[in-house]
Structure 1
Amino acid sequence: MERLPSWLRGHLAALRAVIVLTLLTGVLYPLAVTGVAQAFFGGRADGSLLSSGGRQVGSAVVGQSFTDQRGEPVRRYFQSRPSAAGYDMLATAASNLGPEDVVDTLPDPAGADDAAREGSRSLLTQVCARSAAIGRLEGVSGARPYCTPDGVGAVLKVFPATGTPTRAVSVNQACPAAPFLARYQGVAVECGRPGEDYAAGRTVPVRGSAPIPVVPADAVTASGSGLDPDISVAYARLQAPRVAGERGIALARVFTLIEEHTTGRGLGFMGEPAVNVLRLNLALDRG
């Protein structure tokens, strides 16, 4: 029998390799992994889904919001940690903003594009705004260092950048807002004007006189994934009086449920104890 041309033998060998590898890695391996997962890990392999009233309401390992159609917190439920991804598993991400991100871009109605017209909030202002909102929701002080009373970053731009100040601007408070500080080193503080460039000034965050914050850090900062299903014990206990009052149940009962749904440190020493929000809210609904 006449031998096949070398170029054709090469193509056939490549085709056989594709078929074999497709069967091994695309069919047999996924089937084996799925079989082992279903046999030994059951619910976790299916996403740790939780049900209530005969319907699936979420996953124990993925955070979700407990808000109404207007985006307002439902007062009878514990609230989750903030999410930079909107709790969307297809958009899981962090904000990628760091501790030096303290200056907002004020919304400019006369801006050249949508981004300029909408502006953007710095990480500091996001933290301040969340803390103020949680303070109002829980009936506690939402004040924290480096935040203004109206819930934005307490940051000045001072001109010139070096030497004796001749001008100071509260860059995160858009006019006609009253600046959080009347004077800085003898200079009257101005409100921020949208569209004005303050890049040449020296950035001066002002700590203020706020005490140690009542609102814990995980209540005002998003997790790295944006899908954290847990909150700290401190944040859960802060919310307990509101939830108990809305549901008309004893506060001691709510504290007991928090304790029952608290997981310890990983391997006994990593991280901090945490409370699973969805499991806790389902336990409350069950009474």
Structure 2
Amino acid sequence: MRLPAWLSQHLAALRALLVLSALLGIVYPLLMVGIGRIPGLSGRADGSLIDKDGHPAGSRLIGQAFTDADGNPLKQYFQSRPSAAGDGYDPTSTSASNLGPENVVDTLGEGGRQSLLTQVCARSKAIGDLEGVDGGRPYCTPGGVGAVLAVFHRDGATGPVTRVVSLNEACPAEPFVATYGGVTVECATPGDDYAKGVVTPVRGGAADRPVVPADAVTASGSGLDPHISVAYARLQVNRVAAARGMSPADAQKLIDRYTTERLLGFVGAQGVNVLQLNLALDAAHPVRG
């Protein structure tokens, strides 16, 4: 007996549902789990975790902070690059800050927000102070904020300068420059409207190639980058070596050991895995309490 067309179609659909559910819901997942258990792949399938004293210390694929309870860098450890993922290196909130190069003006006052420029300037100054080097950068004030003025002209955007305000330095701060265009520079009063002024970044006298590398002051796109540049690692050598009572040469050898090469020999740049480097330091040169 031939079944009605509508019933045949429904049975065919049911058979397809059952077969695909079995293949994609059971067979395929089990196959992937089995492949993930193959020696050489199981570590990656489990998250590329690194153990220390029998406990997971982290993943070689995800960065982490090496700071104290107050967020201050621990001098005996190499520091990671900044992170904008959640509260930092949060894989459940991976993201960038979404701030662009034109984000140069801070929001002052209670609940204010730093511009990308000021974030970079503040980080560079802090790293310079920590490492004992010049943390200055172009378009940054000596105090570590964006060197940006609101320049008011008599005729709007043209004509003689009538007023100048340092947008990122709240009163009663002393502006980073005393005068601009022959006019005394004022500090900024939180809440005041300076929208009619021409936003004018001031380059200053910092070197074109700052001592503090770019990756030390900017977050990666994911906020999870476990690597730093070789230049940033070398910048930290003397501090870490002094804190551990070891020679800078021995610290440099460990940097060389945990430096990853460019992909395929030409894509990207060399990087240093910070977690692996710090664990190797703890094993070879523990801090004497």
Q: Same fold (TM over 0.5)?
A: yes
Structure 1 counterpart of 2:106, which letter? D
1:128 has 2:121 as partner: yes
Match of 1:50 in 2: 50
Q: Percent identity of the aligned residues?
A: 62
Match of 1:275 in 2: 272
Query: How many pairs does the alignment contain?
Result: 277
Match of 1:112 in 2: none
Give the superposition deviation at 1:246. Answer: 0.4
Match of 1:207 in 2: 203
- Over the residues paired in the alignment, what is the CA RMSD in angstroms? 1.7
Q: For residues 177 and 4 of structure 2, what CA distance do their matches in structure 1 show?
A: 87
Which residue of the other structure, out of 251, 256, 261, is the alignment partner of 2:258?
A: 261
1:239-254 map, 5 Å: 239-254=236-251
Give the superposition deviation at 1:251. Answer: 1.1
1:1-287 map, 5 Å: 6=6, 13-39=12-38, 40-85=40-85, 86-107=88-109, 117-160=110-153, 161-163=156-158, 164-211=160-207, 212-287=209-284
Change (3 A) 1:198 1:13: farther
Q: For residues 168 and 17 of structure 1, what CA distance do their matches in structure 2 show?
A: 73
Q: Render the CA deviation track for 1:36-93: whole Å, top value 9, x for unaligned.
A: 2321512112111001111100000110111111111111100001001110001001
Q: Secondary structure at the match of 1:269?
A: coil
Give the superposition deviation at 1:217. Answer: 0.5
Give the superposition deviation at 1:181. Answer: 1.0
Give the superposition deviation at 1:146. Answer: 0.4
Q: For residues 267 and 157 of structure 2, what CA distance do their matches in structure 1 show?
A: 45
Structure 1 counterpart of 2:89, which letter? Y
Give the superposition deviation at 1:26. Answer: 2.2
Structure 2 counterpart of 1:162, which letter? A
Structure 2 counterpart of 1:213, which letter? P
Give the superposition deviation at 1:118. Answer: 1.1
Q: Secondary structure at the match of 1:27?
A: helix
Structure 2 counterpart of 1:234, which letter? A
Give the superposition deviation at 1:19. Answer: 3.2
Structure 1 counterpart of 2:262, which letter? R
Change (3 A) 1:120 1:11: farther
Which piece of structure 1 moves more, 123-132 or 23-32? 23-32
Structure 2 counterpart of 1:200, which letter? K
Question: Unpaired runs of 5+ in structure 1?
Answer: 108-116
Q: For residues 176 and 11 of structure 1, what CA distance do their matches in structure 2 show?
A: 78
Structure 2 counterpart of 1:215, which letter? V
Q: For residues 113 and 16 of structure 2, what CA distance do their matches in structure 1 show?
A: 52
Structure 1 counterpart of 2:250, which letter? R
Give the superposition deviation at 1:5. Answer: 8.9
Normalised TM-score (structure 1): 0.91
Change (3 A) 1:200 1:22: farther
Q: Render the CA deviation track for 1:212-233: whole Å, top value 9, x for unaligned.
A: 3111100000001100000011
Q: For residues 152 and 81 of structure 2, what CA distance do their matches in structure 1 show?
A: 38
Give the superposition deviation at 1:190. Answer: 0.9
Structure 1 counterpart of 2:247, which letter? A
Q: For residues 74 and 44 of structure 2, what CA distance do their matches in structure 1 show?
A: 28
Q: For residues 80 and 65 of structure 1, what CA distance do their matches in structure 2 show?
A: 6
Moved over 3 A (4+): 1-6, 8-19
Q: For residues 11 and 122 of structure 2, what CA distance do their matches in structure 1 show?
A: 64
Give the superposition deviation at 1:12. Answer: 5.1
Structure 1 counterpart of 2:92, which letter? L
Q: Secondary structure at the match of 2:134?
A: coil
Give the superposition deviation at 1:14. Answer: 4.3
Q: For residues 172 and 17 of structure 2, what CA distance do their matches in structure 1 show?
A: 68
Q: Secondary structure at the match of 2:161?
A: coil
